Every structure is written in structure tokens, then in C-alpha cells.
């Protein structure tokens, strides 16, 4: 260990901790994976404990703690927002001022106290970074690029909502920013809210909904809501929004503009929500494309790094890649606020002169984003034996072959291997897998496995060497953050369906891999190489060998509203609660048909809050 | 009681201060500016990213 820095993001949403050794991420995890509360905002005590345990160190060995945003600067923005919103905003003032005065303003002290309470050694000095600096550092320093333009787009941190940076070698310079309340992330969140989904959680549902609609509101958004300049910078017309003066996103002006009140959560989805989603998605892509063109022009770089919550808009990312503004794009897999923990730590190590040694390998420094806890076969075996759970233990080749055959026979498999992913996506370490050629797979997985909305698409994991055979993609997408079209040779002629709209579009088979083909022939691609996750690569290879198809459905190992599973026990519980047919944990294969009846918690679905 | 005090502070301090602040300059810079080509706030040259402060 050379220079250990612990990064922390907390107290807003998706709290996380990350440990960096001389500029190299060695452990990172979101707190929700341990506490089992989705998007947990509390101090990431268990994530910190995990990171230190993974490195075999205590706080005495850590030279600095990096916190991902500047609370005092954020408070000044909150005060300015109160002043700007008068005479409205009293309720927001009464609700949010007390916690700011009682502890939020002194967040570094709070972090220090919570770390000290862990009893893991002396708390080192705490370095406060800016929110977008943390995002930018998380995007550039671990990227595989010697130099790049860096764009960070999110809701808001302190003041900045969009920032443009230039990364060169070990240096990262900010060039320009847009400020609150003018925020692309908050515009998207406003539509998320208006369509009845949860803010800071349901944005990806809105993105998944967009292909079902027509962008008939896009011109209205451009005319009324956003003043967009040719360089991608913009201002929002705040008369239509409420987030700067209340605790909701939109109000009556928004309702008048978009033909009625917001959809109630869990209410029926109508043509209007499909069209609103399509419209705001189109405008978002337009802004992203213009900002990217400006980034290219101002930096002269041919490569782009992205972070911030909007960088999780993989449809927009795919449009950027397709447009060819940049030769290549690299997106931080934990692009949201969880990644701020990592970025803050990387900013500190960069300041101290850490070298980006991974550049010599030509690969990024994220290790496939597999930075979370792992469980050895000895630990897994002890758990299974301790609970008298029947299993078969296999060598990797036999396991890959057997699982591939079962997938090809239509089975759905829970797949728990190695280190857990850092970031929102399951990338083949905590995944549920299926056969993408099966036309019933999407509805089966949505309704019987994930217990979620039928419109939600699934993503394909594809052997990297065959990605171009199946998808219109010109670069690697190891973190499932680029959407690309299914290749022409795998598209099917749609004989009927031209007149279908909305969710009826789901009933049309569009490709040879229908379970991962969205209604607009797009797919959220994960390319899988042999290096970072050999077990998953081997499974895809075995499936290709058995079926000729190098693609699997890859969805996160959880049910709706629940964080992705972490431990073998959580994987087993999820396996038994759902209609997953087989579970693979390490070298162990479990067959649902051989398991004892599951009677532990009949009411579990009522205990998990909907997302 | 706390809510009452906060409401008083809001009405007697924040509201007047907000109106005065907006007479001078909108704290949220809401005005659309058709004459401008861009809304960027450019960062002064030489201000690098690594600008955090060590608190203790």
C-alpha cells in the first residue's frame, strides 16, 4: 500500500465508500447493498468497514478521507434559493433549514464523528472536494485515456449542474459550468416526477418508457421550458417548475402545459406518459449532443469521459457514440453520486501526484467495476452446509457447460460470482440470466422474477468479440452504459404491428434475440471480455458453443424495490422467493426442484417498498 | 413552536431580504438572455480541478 485515501459520499442518496491506493481504486461499495435499503442516504458505515477489511487495513493506515461535496457552498446555494423564491418557499424553508443548522453545515465534522464511532483507528484529515470535481475525477482519472474532454451532467451538487473539464495526463482542469436552477438532470427528474415515478430513482424507467411514445411534446418543451443555445448551454423557465421553492418538482403551470395533472404513482400508463417520456428524452439527447460538440471544440480532444447522473442515460450516451462527435466515449460505471466517493478520493491522490499507471495497460482502472465484496467457496460451502441446502459442486468448465445447457432449455439462472459490482448495474457478478432468443423471456422475467412493470426492457451481455455481429456498436461497452441498435442481420421483418401503440408494441417479435430488443430495435449492450470477469466470459462462451448465440439476458439480481443482492444468503433468499430455476454461487449449482420448501417469509413483497 | 419561529423568521427576514436581493440581482439568475450566444460560466484560466480544502 502506498497512499490510501478513503472517499465518502453520503447524506443525499446512494451513499458509498471507496478506497484508493495511490490513484488505483481497490474497493468500493454502496451502503444500500449492506443495509438493504435502496438508495440509502445514511453514513456509509458498513461500506467503509468493507473497504478497510478488503484492503486489510484500519483508519490508522489511511492518509486522508475525501468527502464528495462542499456543504458550506451547498448551504449558500440553498440560502440563495430561499431568497430567490420568496414569497413562496416557506414550507421548504421550515423543513430544510433545521437540519442544515443542526448538522449538515458541519458535514465534515459529522463524517469525522461517524468514522470515529466505528472504532477502526484514528480518523485522518478530511479533505472536502466539490461535487462536480468528484464526478469529473471519477470520469477521467480511471479512464483509459491519456487525455480527454470531460463532461459532468447531473441534477445539482453545490451550484454546478453541468461542468466541462479538460483532462491531460495527471491533471484535470475545469473550463466552464452551468449553475442551478438550470439543470438538465432536474429537467429530466421533473418529467420523471410528472409521469408518476420516484425522483432520483425512476429516471431510468422514464428512459425505458420513451421508445413507446412519440415526441409530440418536444417542441413544446423547447418553446416553453428550455432556452437552448447552439453550444448546448441552456436556461430553464422556472415559472413552470417548483423544485427551487418547494418539495415537489412541478406545479400547475406544468400541468397546464402538458394537458392535465401528473400521473399518480402506480396509476395506469397512458399515451401521454409515453409521449412525454419520448419528448424529454429527445430534448435531453439534443442537449447532450450540443454539449459534446462544444466539449470537442473547446478541448480539441478526440475522446470523451462522462459522469454525473445524466451519464446513466445510456440511450443518450448511445446517441453520442453514434453521432461520432468523439472517436470514443468512456463512462464512469458509478456515474451517479455513489461514484462521487471514488472521485473525491481520486482527486486527493491526483493532488498528491499519484501516477495513472493503468494507462500503460491500455485499459481503465476500474477492474470491470468489480470492487465490492467477494465470498470464497469455503464461505459459500459453509453457508450452504450450515443451512442443509442441497447443491452440486463443479469445476468452472463443467459449471459453465451445465448452466449454458440449462439456459438454452429455457431456465432462468441466478448468478453470484466473485466481487460485487460498484454502481447501479449488474455486470455478471450479481445477475439473473436468461436466453435472449426466447420470445417469452422478457415478460416472464419482468412479471414472475422481478415483479416489475411489463414495459421494462432487459439488457444483453455479449461476448466482446461478437458484439459487432449482433449490435450496431463501434466501441466496447463493458459497463452497460451505451444503447445501440440490434444489427440488421438479426432484425426480423415486422409483419403486423405497424398500427400498434404503447405497451401493445411489446407483443411484436423484432429480432432473433427478442428478450433484449426494445420496441425501437435498441439494446443496452454490455460487452464482456475475458479479463475482468472470466467466469461470466466462460459462461457466455459455453452458451455460444451450445447454441451459436453469444448473448445472454443480464438483469440485476434483485426484485423490484430491493437493492442488488450482496451475500450468498441474500442470493439464496431471492432465488427461493422468485421463479428463478437455478442458482450458481461460486462453484456451487443449486436446483430449485431440489430445494426444501420456502416458508420463511410469505409476506416479503409487502415489506419491500416499491421503487 | 419551532415551526412558528421559523415562519416568523421567514416572513420578517427572508421575504424582505429576498425582495431586496432580487431588486439588485436575481440570486437564481432566471432571466433568459436572447442576446447571449452562451450561458457558460467560464472558469478563470489556471484554476485547476484539485482545489479542495483540508478541514483539519
**Residues A54-108: tens digit of each pLDDT:** 999 999 999 999 999 999 999 999 999 999 999 999 999 999 999 999 999 999 9
CATH number at residue A260: 3.30.420.40
Judge whether B28 is closer than 8 Å to chain A, CB to CB.
yes
Query: What is A527-569 written as a DSSP string?
Result: EE-TTT-HHHHHHHHHHHHHHS--EEEEEESS-TTSPPP-SHH
pLDDT at residue A573, rounded to an integer: 96
In this complex, is the C-beta atom of A348 within 8 Å of any C-beta atom belonging to chain B?
A: yes
**Domain co-membership, A184 together with A234:** yes
Mean pLDDT of the region A355-375: 96
Does B26 sit within 8 Å of A175, measured CB to CB?
Answer: no
**pLDDT band with cut points at 50, 70 and 90 for residue A453:** confident
> Do A598 and A454 share a domain, yes or no?
yes
Residues of B in contact with A125 (CB under 8 A): 54-56
Is A301 within the bounds of a domain? yes
> Is the CB of A351 less than 8 angstroms away from the CB of B50?
yes
Q: Is A172 on the interface with B (CB under 8 A)?
A: yes
Distance from CA of A125 to the nearest CA of B (A): 5
Q: Specify if B3 maps to a domain.
A: yes
**Are residues A413 and A466 located together in one domain of the fold?**
yes
In a domain, B7, yes or no: yes
Q: What integer pLDDT is reported at residue A443 of this predicted model? A: 87
Instruction: Mutate one of A76, A90, A95, A253 to test the B interface: name it (highest B CB count within 10 A).
Output: A90
Query: DSSP assignment of A404-445, as one string?
Result: HHHHHTT--EEEE-SSPBSSS---SSEEEEE-TT-TTHHHHI
Whether A568 is covered by a domain: the verdict is yes
Q: Cβ contact (<8 Å) for B49 and A173?
A: yes
Domain of residue B10 covers 1-25
A187/A225 same-domain check = yes
B24 in contact with chain A, both atoms CB, cutoff 8 A:
no
Q: Is B5 on the interface with A (CB under 8 A)?
A: no
Query: Are A301 and A344 members of one domain?
Result: no
pLDDT, tens digit (0-9, with 9 covering 90-100), for A148-206: 999 999 999 999 999 999 999 999 999 999 999 999 999 999 999 999 999 998 999 99
* A360 and A394 within one domain: no
- Burial of A274: CB neighbours in 10 Å, binned 0-12, 13-18, 19+: buried
Cβ count near A609 (within 10 Å)? 11
Q: Does residue B33 fall inside a structural domain?
A: no
Domain contains A173: no
The arrangement of strands across the sheet holding A551-556 comes to A392-393, A588-591, A582-585, A413-416, A430-434, A551-556, A459-463, A522-528, A482-485
- Any chain A CB within 8 A of the CB of B25? no
Chain B neighbors of A80, CB-CB under 8 A: 27-28
B36 within domain boundaries: no
Judge whether B49 lies within some domain: no
Looking at the structure, tell me whether residues A438 and A577 fall in a common domain: yes
Same domain, A269 and A397: no
Q: Is residue A383 part of a domain?
A: yes
A577 and A526 in a single domain? The answer is yes
The region that residue B41 occupies, defined by phi over 0 for left and psi between -120 and 50 for alpha, beta otherwise, is beta
Q: Are residues A198 and A96 in the same domain?
A: no
Q: What angle separates helix A45-55 from helix A107-117, to the nearest 10 degrees?
A: 60
Predicted confidence at residue A581, as pLDDT, reads 97
Shared-domain flag, residues A390 and A538: yes
Q: How many CB atoms lie within 10 A of CB A250?
A: 21
Least CB–CB distance from A84: residue in B27, B32, B53: B27
Q: What is the mean pLDDT of chain A?
A: 95
For residue A60, the Cα-to-chain-centroid distance in whole angstroms is: 32
Each residue's pLDDT tens digit, A105-156: 999 999 999 999 999 999 999 999 999 999 999 999 999 999 999 999 999 9
* Catalytic, out of A13, A182, A358, A537: A13
Residue at A204 is within a domain: yes
CB proximity under 8 Å: A 100-139 to B:
108, 112, 125-130, 133, 136-137
CATH label of the domain that carries residue A571: 3.90.870.20
Is residue B32 in some structural domain? no
In the predicted model, what is the mean pLDDT of residues B28-41? 96
Helix (H) / strand (E) containing A289: helix A271-299
pLDDT digits (tens, 9 = 90+) for A252-311: 999 999 999 999 998 999 999 999 999 999 999 999 999 999 999 999 999 999 999 999
Predicted pLDDT at B49: 53
* Number of structural domains chain B divides into: 1
B46 part of a folded domain: no
Within the 305-334 window of chain A, which residues sit less than 8 Å (CB to CB) from chain B? none
Are A80 and B28 within 8 A, CB to CB? yes
- Which chain B residue has its CA at the smallest distance from A229's CA? B38
Inside any domain, residue A236: yes
Strands of A23-114 (E only): list them: 24-30, 62-67
Percentage of chain A exceeding pLDDT 70: 99
| Among candidates B19, B28, B39 on the partner chain, residue whose Cβ is nearest the Cβ of A229 | B39
Residues of B in contact with A180 (CB under 8 A): 28
In this structure, the answer to whether residues A348 and A263 fall within a common structural domain is no
- Tell whether B45 is covered by a domain: no
Query: Among candidates A285, A257, A184, which has minimal Cα distance to A226?
Result: A184
B4 in contact with A at a CB cutoff of 8 Å?
no
Which structural domain, as residue segments, surrounds residue A500? Answer: 377-607
CB A471 within 8 A of CB A462: yes
Instruction: Answer yes or no: is pLDDT of A23 > 50.
Output: yes
Cβ of A79: how many Cβ atoms within 10 Å? 16
ipTM of the complex, rounded to two decimals: 0.91
Write phi, then psi, for A179 (nearest 5 degrees). -125, 155
Q: Are strands A413-416 and A582-585 parallel, antiparallel or unpaired?
A: parallel
The verdict on residue A158 lying in a domain is no
User: Is residue A23 a part of any domain in this protein?
Assistant: yes
* Torsion angle, alpha carbons of A386, A392, A394, A400, to 10: -120
Cis peptide before A87 (omega within 30 of 0): yes
Give the total number of structural domains in chain A.
Answer: 3
pLDDT tens digits for range A204-213: 999 999 999 9
Catalytic residue status for A521: no
Q: What integer is the mean pLDDT of A550-558? A: 97
Amino acid at each position: 500500500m502506498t497512499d490510501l485515501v478513503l472517499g465518502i459520499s453520503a447524506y443525499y442518496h446512494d451513499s458509498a465508500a471507496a478506497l484508493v491506493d495511490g490513484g488505483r481504486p481497490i474497493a468500493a461499495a454502496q451502503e444500500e447493498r449492506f443495509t438493504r435499503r435502496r438508495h440509502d442516504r445514511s453514513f456509509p458505515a458498513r461500506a467503509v468497514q468493507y473497504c478497510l477489511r478488503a484492503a486489510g487495513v484500519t483508519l490508522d493506515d489511511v492518509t486522508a478521507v475525501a468527502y464528495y461535496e462542499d456543504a458550506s457552498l451547498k448551504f449558500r446555494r440553498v440560502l440563495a434559493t430561499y431568497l430567490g423564491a420568496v414569497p413562496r418557499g416557506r414550507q421548504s424553508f421550515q423543513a430544510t433549514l433545521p437540519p442544515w443548522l443542526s448538522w449538515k453545515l458541519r458535514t465534515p465534522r459529522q463524517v469525522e464523528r461517524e468514522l470515529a464511532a466505528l472504532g477502526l483507528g484514528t480518523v485522518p484529515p478530511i479533505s472536502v472536494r466539490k461535487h462536480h470535481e468528484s464526478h469529473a475525477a471519477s470520469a477521467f482519472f480511471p479512464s483509459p485515456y491519456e487525455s480527454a474532454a470531460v463532461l459532468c451532467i447531473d441534477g445539482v451538487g453545490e451550484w454546478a449542474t453541468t461542468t466541462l473539464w479538460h483532462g491531460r495526463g495527471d491533471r484535470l482542469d475545469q473550463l466552464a459550468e452551468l449553475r442551478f436552477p438550470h439543470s438538465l438532470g432536474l429537467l429530466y427528474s421533473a418529467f420523471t416526477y410528472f409521469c408518476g415515478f420516484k425522483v432520483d430513482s425512476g429516471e431510468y424507467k422514464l428512459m425505458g418508457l420513451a421508445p413507446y411514445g412519440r415526441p409530440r411534446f418536444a417542441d413544446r418543451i423547447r418553446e416553453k421550458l428550455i432556452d437552448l443555445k447552439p453550444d448546448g448551454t441552456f436556461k430553464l423557465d422556472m415559472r413552470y417548475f417548483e423544485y427551487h421553492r418547494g418539495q415537489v418538482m412541478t406545479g400547475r403551470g406544468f400541468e397546464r402545459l402538458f394537458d392535465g395533472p401528473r400521473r399518480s404513482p402506480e396509476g395506469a400508463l397512458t399515451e401521454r406518459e409515453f409521449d412525454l417520456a419520448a419528448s424529454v428524452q429527445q430534448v435531453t439527447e439534443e442537449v447532450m449532443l450540443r454539449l459534446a460538440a462544444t466539449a470537442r471544440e473547446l478541448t480539441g480532444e478526440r475522446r470523451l469521459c462522462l459522469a454525473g447522473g445524466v451519464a446513466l442515460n445510456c440511450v443518450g450516451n448511445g446517441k453520442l457514440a453514434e453521432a461520432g462527435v468523439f472517436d470514443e466515449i468512456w463512462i464512469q460505471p458509478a456515474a451517479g453520486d455513489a461514484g462521487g466517493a471514488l472521485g473525491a478520493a481520486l482527486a486527493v491522490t491526483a493532488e498528491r501526484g499519484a501516477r495513472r499507471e493503468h494507462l500503460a495497460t491500455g485499459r481503465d482502472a476500474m477492474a470491470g467495476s468489480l470492487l465490492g465484496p467477494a465470498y470464497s467457496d469455503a464461505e459459500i460451502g459453509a453457508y450452504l452446509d450450515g443451512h442443509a441446502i442441497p447443491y452440486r459442486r463443479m469445476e468452472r468448465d463443467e459449471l459453465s457447460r451445465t448452466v449454458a445447457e440449462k439456459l438454452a432449455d429455457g431456465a432462468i439462472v441466478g448468478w453470484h460470482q466473485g466481487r460485487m459490482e460498484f454502481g447501479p448495474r449488474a455486470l455478471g457478478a450479481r445477475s439473473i440470466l436468461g436466453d435472449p432468443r426466447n420470445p417469452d423471456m422478457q415478460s416472464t422475467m419482468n412479471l414472475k422474477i422481478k415483479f416489475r412493470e411489463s414495459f421494462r426492457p432487459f439488457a444483453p451481455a455479449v461476448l466482446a468479440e461478437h458484439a459487432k455481429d449482433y449490435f450496431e456498436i463501434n466501441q466496447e461497452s463493458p459497463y452497460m452504459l451505451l444503447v445501440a441498435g440490434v444489427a440488421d442481420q438479426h432484425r426480423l421483418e415486422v409483419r403486423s404491428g405497424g398500427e400498434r401503440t404503447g405497451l401493445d408494441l411489446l407483443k411484436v417479435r423484432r429480432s432473433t434475440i427478442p428478450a433484449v430488443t426494445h420496441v425501437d430495435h435498441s439494446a443496452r449492450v454490455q460487452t464482456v471480455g475475458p479479463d475482468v470477469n472470466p467466469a461470466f466470459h466462460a459462461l457466455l462462451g459455453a452458451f455460444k458453443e451450445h447454441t451459436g448465440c453469444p448473448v445472454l439476458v443480464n438483469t440485476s439480481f434483485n426484485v423490484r424495490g430491493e437493492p442488488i443482492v450482496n451475500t450468498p444468503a441474500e442470493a439464496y433468499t431471492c432465488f427461493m422467493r422468485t421463479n428463478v430455476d437455478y442458482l450458481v454461487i461460486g462453484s456451487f449449482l443449486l436446483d430449485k426442484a431440489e430445494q426444501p420448501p420456502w416458508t420463511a417469509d410469505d409476506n416479503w413483497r409487502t415489506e419491500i417498498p416499491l421503487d | 413552536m419551532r415551526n412558528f419561529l421559523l415562519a416568523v423568521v421567514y416572513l420578517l427576514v427572508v421575504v424582505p431580504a429576498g425582495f431586496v436581493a432580487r431588486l439588485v440581482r436575481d440570486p437564481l439568475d432566471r432571466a433568459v438572455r436572447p442576446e447571449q450566444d452562451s450561458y457558460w460560466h467560464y472558469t478563470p484560466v489556471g484554476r485547476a480541478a484539485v482545489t479542495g480544502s483540508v478541514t483539519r
